[in-house]
Structure 1
């Protein structure tokens, strides 16, 4: 595993692991200031679908509002794996939640691009977009 930061100012695997685990811990523990500290002010988070949480969240505050929205709906996040790339990391998750007679049971990949020690972009890939469209709706 490459751990040095020798050329092109690429993030090290240690930086990637730190940012990935810090993001997940902050999400789990509602530590929004901690989350804000690792996200670039102009970062973006893309989430597929047509739900109230879907689309483009632009900026750290919007990203945190989306994370808070996931928590509001009772989503539980189980880390399956952390996958390393050249410029970032991918979180492989199993997300679950229940509400009334709705069940969310989703395989999720969040691809995080890193620059200068911060997450600069996130893109979520889902196993079942239709289920989030039904689960994340107004009025909850």
Structure 2
């Protein structure tokens, strides 16, 4: 009889990082987010809006997360996807205000090195919708 040496995916470091990443975003716990990311972390988002492009370094990544959350998003975690070394969060983000609605599916793919997130790249279902939603607001972003 063969004995399986597989471990529960929920016990992997990648799974724990994904859960912590989501928890930090939903609770706006930026110090928690900082604990799971490398100081040199990068985060790239598509589009042409206030949150698009690369954020380089932990302070820029935290600033981006704060800005995204400031728009009142609901971050619904649909799935955590694991590879051998990395992970992705499949999310459904929604928000609305009088002049715009955001309803997008996305995948936030994280590269992991030495048990820390070193790179984040977000893939979107509706880049044009994101461009229309993440515009500068009166009184600043």
Q: Normalization by structure 1: what TM-score?
A: 0.89
Give the corresponding residue for 1:122. 120
Deviation at 1:87? 2.1
Give the corresponding residue for 1:73. 71
Q: Which runs of 5+ in 1 are unaligned?
A: 5-11
Regions of 4+ moved over 4 Å = none
Corresponding residue SS for 1:28: helix
Distance 2:137 2:60 in 1: 20
Residue correspondence of structure 1 range 1-140 to structure 2 within 5 A: 2-3=6-7, 14-140=12-138
Q: Which runs of 5+ in 2 are unaligned?
A: none
Rg larger for: 2
Work out whether residues 3 and 13 of structure 1, in 8 Å CA contact, stay in contact via their aligned partners in 2.
yes
**What value does the CA root-mean-square deviation take over the aligned residues?**
1.7
Deviation at 1:2? 4.3
Q: Normalization by structure 2: what TM-score?
A: 0.89
